[in-house]
Amino acid sequence: MAPSPFVKDIWTLVCLGYPDMPLTSRERVLTALQHEEPDRVPLVIGVSNATGIKMAPYRGIKEIIGVDAPDEYIYDWPELGTALIDEATMRRLHSDVRGVLDLEPESVRRRNREREPHSDFIDSWGSGQLEITPGEWFPGVHPLADAKSVEDLDAYTGWPDMSDPTRIAHVSDQAKRLADANEYAILATPWLLFPFERAYAMQGMETFLLNMAMDGEFARELMTRIATFCKQLMGPFLAELGDNVDIIKIGDDLGTQESLMISPKMYREILKPIHADFISFIKERTKAKVLFHSDGDVAPLIDDFVEIGVDILNPIQTSAGTMSNLTELKKRHGKNIVFCGGIDSHRILPFGTPADVRDEVKRVIEIMGPGGGYMLGAVHTVMNDVPPENVLAMVDAAAEFGDYQAC
């Protein structure tokens, strides 16, 4: 693909001796999204639960770099455990994106703030989390665990009110402020508008997967209803964003460490049409690129993702099955989809040394970086077992080894 006139002009200036004119972060991301090489590989970190940092490493990073900022949580949700990263730390992390998120309704947030300590956290869908050890929460409240029929779904009274204005009252101003600054790419993420994941949150994973296998029509109906609610929030969310957004994040965790959670045939027959319809709904309302987040080994479905309109795939879980073969992923799919993520959070980030992290960043960039179409980040959230020194090693290595040096 020939470089765009914009990219040519930038690199003409740099090559003629103006090294102090790098791309802005937003320009860097937009260039990579066009499958062109910017000045360096973009970094995506700290802007959603899937690209975020848990509180323990965030506190450690702040201590190392000398930032005094409060401990706050994305989505105003401490039980989720993902930090709301302050701006000074985001800049030190070289993050090229900034996030715009929705919120649970104020009534739900207030209820959870005022509930008994250590009691169950219940979200606006009626599903929720249990505290399994002090400070550690796990999805364990499944309000549709016994549902087996359309009538059971009709009888459920806990479906969310997506029209509550407190979900998105802040979105327009926040997005406009970022857009007016025109410094960073804007990645917008309504919380967990994922039909498959939400279905097993409502039923429990084992129960829902059994339903997928034994009663596909019921599973399809449940996910279709969930997708309808997702649209009821996504439509107004996109309207509040207007043109002030570059990337919309959606997804569904479809993979395990070894394979898919469901067969490709089952995905194509039951879930793919729901995903396709949801992505079409989004693209009818925005020019933003669609980032699809799916953990695990989802390599067998990448062509399907491209077909239904996915522009960016995250998080590229290199510890999972065939996703470890980055060379093959880049060769087969690199011209059709942008890869985002790729730095192993299963072994390297939590258990490696900073030198190990640097080596892994260099290796991944050498494979995924050529030709653009790659944005570096950790595989999913930086978890509490990751030393803060390794996070800094990752982002600094990305800045060092991600320099395309095109002149």
Question: For residue 12, what pLDDT is reported?
Answer: 45
| pLDDT tens string 5-64 | 444 444 344 444 444 568 999 999 999 999 999 999 999 999 999 999 999 999 999 999
Worst-scoring range by mean pLDDT, 137-141, 190-194, 386-390? 190-194
- Percent pLDDT > 70 in the chain is 94
3-state secondary structure string across the chain: CCCCHHHHHHHHHHHCCCCCCCCCHHHHHHHHHCCCCCCECCECCCCCCCCCEEHHHHHHHHHHHCCCCCCCEHHHCHHHCEECCCHHHHHHCCCCEEEEECCCCHHHHHHHHHCCCCCCEECCCCCEEEEEECCEEEEEECCCCCCCCHHHHHHCCCCCCCCCHHHCCCHHHHHHHHHHHCCCEEEEECCCCCHHHHHHHHHCHHHHHHHHHHCHHHHHHHHHHHHHHHHHHHHHHHHHHCCCCCEEEEECCCECCCCECCCHHHHHHHHHHHHHHHHHHHHCCCCCEEEEECCCCCHHHHHHHHHCCCCEEECCCCCCHHHHCHHHHHHHHCCCCEEEEEECCCCHHHHCCHHHHHHHHHHHHHHHCCCCCEEEEECCCECCCCCHHHHHHHHHHHHHHCECCCC
Q: What topology is assigned to 5-103+180-189+228-401 in CATH?
A: TIM Barrel (3.20.20)
Worst-scoring range by mean pLDDT, 55-64, 170-179, 184-193, 301-310? 184-193
Question: For residue 4, what pLDDT is reported?
Answer: 45
Question: For residue 136, what pLDDT is reported?
Answer: 85
Per-domain boundaries in the chain: 5-103+180-189+228-401
| pLDDT tens string 384-401 | 999 999 999 999 999 999
pTM confidence score? 0.94
Mean pLDDT for 263-274 is 97
pLDDT at 233 over 60: yes
